[in-house]
């Protein structure tokens, strides 16, 4: 019986992968040009619905739904994802006007996926679909199209490239980010906040995003939280300030030192980006 179930699972995975490849072949995209395709997005969502609940690893899931991304994952991360079961349940976040605008996850399965894709040469849209599908599902088509034209903003290469931009205090778009720790009885609380300031209508952000990763002393992720706001919710004014935040907590953590590495970016309609990073630490005494 077990062997038959495994064969059925493999058949479903292979069938879905073939269907997705045929879809991409039917909807050609010019090489080296990124574009958001609602048709591909809908087909991918349908594929995910079709295999939802199937017993598979996170590695098999990415290989089935994003074969082009899976090829870029390192052998070490592929081996790690092969040991992680795919979790199908969506997580609940902060919902504003019917859209998920902030989300936190402590699931080791999702954190392993983050590790595997955060430095890949993929678009920000691909990162968001794979790592934060709940956010992607509630984003507008305009926001999805915008992210499809952004590089992976989480990668070390992008952060280095953006840090080389001449911005400083003379920039017409500035971004800051901060993660604040507090300890209350058995909880390690953390508050992520980011502000974007623009002095000219041309630099008004189309998208503002912030994320923080919580690491233990072994440099292993134990949690992550995000917040974002799209251009439709930022007033169209010549100058202004936009603030986003996410507040959450982890309980029953072992005693030890914990670090928050935060990043935030704001991107304009012309795909000009400004990014900020921040790191802070705290000692947590553990749950008594």
β-bridge partners, 267: 207, 273
Of the three residues 31, 60, 87, the one that is the final residue of a domain is 87
Q: What integer pLDDT is reported at residue 233 of this predicted model?
A: 73
Residues 44 and 127 in one domain: no
Q: What integer pLDDT is reported at residue 142 of this predicted model?
A: 92
Q: What integer pLDDT is reported at residue 34 of this predicted model?
A: 60
Of the three residues 59, 87, 115, the one that is the final residue of a domain is 87
Residues 190 and 67 in one domain: no
In Å, the largest CA–CA distance within the chain is: 68
**For 21-50, b where at least 16 C-beta lie within 10 A, e where not — what string?**
eebeeeeeeeeeebebbeebbebbeebbee
Angstrom distances, CA of residue 80 to CA of 60, 114, 118, 187, 192: 12, 12, 15, 29, 29
Residues 210 and 96 in one domain: yes
Report the domain count for the chain: 2
Q: What integer pLDDT is reported at residue 184 of this predicted model?
A: 82
Q: What integer pLDDT is reported at residue 170 of this predicted model?
A: 56
Residues 288 and 220 in one domain: yes
How far is the C-alpha of 9 from the C-alpha of 3, rounded, in Å? 10
How far is the C-alpha of 189 from the C-alpha of 40, rounded, in Å? 39
8 A C-beta contact, residue 237 and residue 176 = no
Residues 176 and 46 in one domain: no
How far is the C-alpha of 254 from the C-alpha of 248, rounded, in Å? 18
Residues 197 and 231 in one domain: yes
Specify the pTM.
Answer: 0.85
Strands of the chain (E only): list them. 94-96, 99-105, 173-184, 187-198, 205-215, 221-230, 240-251, 256-268, 273-284
| CATH number, residue 275 | 2.60.40.10
Residues 129 and 252 in one domain: yes
Residues 147 and 269 in one domain: yes
Of the three residues 87, 122, 137, the one that is the final residue of a domain is 87
Task: Write out the residue range of the structural domain in which residue 248 sits.
Answer: 90-288
C-alpha torsion angle, residues 248, 191, 206, 153 (rounded to 10): -90
How far is the C-alpha of 61 from the C-alpha of 11, rounded, in Å? 13
Spans of the chain, pLDDT less than 50? 1-7, 9-14, 16-33, 168-169
Residues 59 and 100 in one domain: no
Q: What integer pLDDT is reported at residue 164 of this predicted model?
A: 58
Residues 214 and 118 in one domain: yes
Q: What integer pLDDT is reported at residue 165 of this predicted model?
A: 58
Residues 56 and 134 in one domain: no
Residues 217 and 258 in one domain: yes
Beginning with the edge strand found earlier in the chain, give each strand of the sheet holding 173-184 in spatial order: 173-184, 187-198, 240-251
Q: Which helix (H) or strand (E) holds 69?
A: helix 67-70
Percent of the chain with pLDDT over 90: 68
């Amino acid at each position: 019986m077990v062997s038959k179930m495994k064969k059925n699972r493999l058949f479903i995975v292979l069938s879905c992968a073939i269907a997705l490849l045929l879809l991409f072949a039917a909807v050609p995209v010019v090489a080296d040009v990124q574009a958001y395709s609602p048709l591909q997005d809908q087909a991918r969502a349908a594929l995910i619905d079709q295999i939802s609940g199937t017993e598979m690893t996170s590695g098999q899931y990415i290989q089935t739904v994003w074969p082009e991304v899976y090829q870029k994952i390192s052998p070490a991360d592929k081996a790690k994802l092969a040991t992680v079961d795919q979790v199908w349940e969506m997580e609940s976040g902060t919902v504003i006007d019917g859209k998920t605008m902030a989300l936190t996850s402590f699931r080791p399965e999702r954190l392993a996926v983050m590790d595997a894709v955060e430095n890949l040469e993929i678009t920000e849209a691909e990162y968001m679909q794979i790592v934060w599908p709940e956010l992607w599902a509630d984003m507008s088509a305009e926001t999805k199209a915008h992210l499809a034209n952004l590089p992976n903003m989480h990668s070390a290469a992008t952060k280095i490239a953006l840090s080389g931009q001449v911005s400083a205090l003379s920039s017409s778009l500035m971004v800051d980010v901060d993660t604040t720790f507090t300890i209350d009885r058995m909880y390690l609380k953390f508050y992520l906040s980011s502000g974007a300031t623009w002095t000219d209508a041309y630099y008004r952000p189309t998208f503002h995003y912030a994320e923080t990763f919580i690491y233990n002393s072994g440099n292993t992720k134990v949690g992550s939280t995000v917040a974002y706001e799209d251009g439709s919710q930022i007033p169209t004014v010549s100058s202004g300030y936009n603030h986003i935040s996410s507040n959450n907590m982890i309980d029953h953590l072992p005693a030890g030192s914990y670090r928050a590495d935060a990043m935030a970016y704001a991107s304009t309609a012309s795909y000009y980006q400004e990014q900020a990073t921040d790191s802070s630490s705290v000692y947590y005494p553990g749950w008594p």
